Amino acid sequence: MATGADTWWAQAAQDAGLAVWAYQPFPEQTAKFTSAQQREHARIREIAERVVVVGDRFAWGHFDTRDALMIDDAHAIIAVRDPGRDSGGTVSALARYCPARTVIKVNTAARHTSIASAYTHGPWSDPSARHDAVTGRQAIDAVFPAGTACTSRPDDAAPATTPHTTPPPDSGIDP
């Protein structure tokens, strides 16, 4: 759990009555946070129904393990990022652990949300360039009604091309 979007989404989940799970690479992760960020992090940990701390001290590998555990436990992957950044924790986690997972992509620069049945590094701002890396089909843009939750997830034996989320019945999108 980091600052910014991580804590915003945790608060939104709590406000919606959903369970919050927090994943942290090591206890001192917050040492370089501002005091306000440390307080917010502590508050989110307090409301979390589950807290996973990977290691007992700093190690770069703990970030990767945290990412793998967090993504493996997720029913839906929502990536909130600026497409102008092509490195960092979010980009790394998506590239490593989501090549065959459905990803809801929130483009903070264009204020646009799309969903694809596999994560790709392709341009997010050009709708004609977005495509599904597994099938080669164009990605589906979707607007989900407020309060919609993606809750369907196949078992671990499912083929990589099976979507890990199911659109809401009234969305007009074929699963």
User: What is the distance between the alpha carbons of residues 14 and 5, in angstroms, rounded to a whole number?
Assistant: 14
Query: Does the predicted TM-score (pTM) go above 0.95?
Result: no
Tell me what pLDDT residue 47 has: 93
Q: Are 67 and 92 in contact (CB under 8 A)?
A: yes
Tell me what pLDDT residue 119 has: 67
Q: Helical H runs in the chain? A: 5-15, 35-47, 60-73, 89-97
What are the per-10-residue average pLDDT scores of the chain (175 residues)? 87 94 94 96 94 95 93 89 83 85 89 80 44 40 35 34 40 46
Tell me what pLDDT residue 151 has: 33
Structure tokens at 49: 């129904």
Nearest to 144 by CA among 103, 108, 114: 114
Tell me what pLDDT residue 76 has: 87
Q: Are 10 and 44 in contact (CB under 8 A)?
A: yes
Tell me what pLDDT residue 138 has: 39
Nearest to 64 by CA among 92, 88, 87: 92
DSSP-assigned beta bridge partners for residue 104: 78, 115
Structure tokens at 71: 């993504």
Give φ, ψ of 138 to 5 degrees.
Answer: -65, 145
